[in-house]
Every structure is written in structure tokens, then in C-alpha cells.
Amino acid sequence: MYSNASTAGVKPVALELGQRIRKARLQKDLTIQALADLVGIEYTQMSRIELGKINTSVLQVCKISRALEVCMSTLLKDLELNVGKKEIDECGPEMLFSDLSNG
């Protein structure tokens, strides 16, 4: 869906999760704004989540999955298998879990 050239510097796990959220949103025929409203976040934040530009918390993934009426496991299942070990290792836990340190 996204080329490597256009995603330089984007965290692979966040990008894969964002692609899954976008696919589920489109299947529900929702706009980004409609999903953001259901989740209770700003349009820009929802857009950045879908684009993989930011990491999001487990709580946000839970809210998104509820709004999309899909199980969280649908969004998260085998996420690391679709990204690749090398990319996860380069990303590191400080990037994967950066939202946790933000409160």
C-alpha cells in the first residue's frame, strides 16, 4: 500500500497497524473524521495513526477497534510477522512504546 520511498523514517510497526486501521475504516465506509469522532480524538491524530507517523497506545487501539466493531486482535494479530525482525530491532522498545512514557 505504501512504498518504501514515501515512508522513510516511519516506524514499520506503526505503519502496518495504520494500514490495518485504514482498511477496516474503509470497509465500514467511514471517513477519518467520523472515526476520529467515534474514538474521541482529533482528525489530525487519527490521520497520523493511519499513516503510521505516530505510535499509539493500547488504549487508543482498543477505542479504535470498538469504533470499527472489530476485535483488537484483528488489528494486532501477527503484526510483528508482517513487519520483520530487523525492522522491529531497529525500531526498539523505546519507539514501540513511546506513548507509555507520555502518560
Average pLDDT, whole number, for the chain? 79
**Overall pTM surpassing 0.85 (yes/no):** no
Report the candidate in 39, 43, 44, 79 with the shortest Cα–Cα distance to residue 60: 39
Domain boundaries, the chain: 10-98
Report the candidate in 50, 48, 43 with the shortest Cα–Cα distance to residue 22: 50
- pLDDT grade, residue 23 (50/70/90)? very high
Cβ atoms of 57 and 76 within 8 Å: the answer is no
Residue 102: DSSP 8-state: T
Q: What is the pLDDT of residues 46-85, one digit of tens each?
A: 999 999 999 899 999 999 999 999 999 999 988 766 665 5
Domain 10-98, CATH number (from 2.40.30.30, 1.10.260.40, 3.30.2080.10, 2.160.10.10)? 1.10.260.40
Residue 7: DSSP 8-state: G
